[in-house]
Amino acid sequence: MLIQNARLSDGSAVDLRLAGGKIAAIGLSLAPESGEEVLNAAGRTLLPGFIDLHCHWRTPGFEYKEDIATGSAAAAAGGYTFVNLMPNTKPVCSSGEQAHAIMAQAEQIGLVGVNQTVSITENFDGKTLDHLKTLPEDLRFVTEDGNGVQSANVMAKAFAICSQRGITIMSHAEDREVSPWDYRLAENLETVRNLHLCEYYGTRLHMCHVSTREAIEAIAAAKSRGVPVTCEVTPHHLWFADSDYRVNPPIRTADDVAALIEGIRTGAVDAIATDHAPHSDEDKEKGAAGMVGLETAFAACYTKLCKEQGLELYLLEALMSRFPAAILGLDNKGRIAVGADADLTLVDLDAAWTVDKDKLHSKSHNCPYHGQTLAGRVVLTIRDGRITYKA
| Active-site residue set | 275
HEC-encoded secondary structure of the chain: CEEEEEECCCCCEEEEEEECCEEEEEECCCCCCCCCCEEECCCCEEEECEEEEEECCCCCCCCCCCCHHHHHHHHHHCCEEEEEECCCCCCCCCCHHHHHHHHHHHHHHCCCEEEECEECCHHHCCCCCHHHHHCCCCCCEEECCCCCCCCHHHHHHHHHHHHHHCCEEEECCCCCCCCCCCHHHHHHHHHHHHHHHHHHHCCCEEECCCCCHHHHHHHHHHHHCCCCEEEEECHHHHHCCCCCCCCCCCCCCHHHHHHHHHHHHHCCCCEECCCECCCCHHHHHCCCCCECCCCCHHHHHHHHHHHHCCCCHHHHHHHHHHHHHHHHCCCCCCCCCCCCECCEEEEEEEEEEECCHHHCCCCCCCCCCCCCEEEEEEEEEEECCEEEEEC
352 C-beta neighbours (distance < 10 Å), count: 12
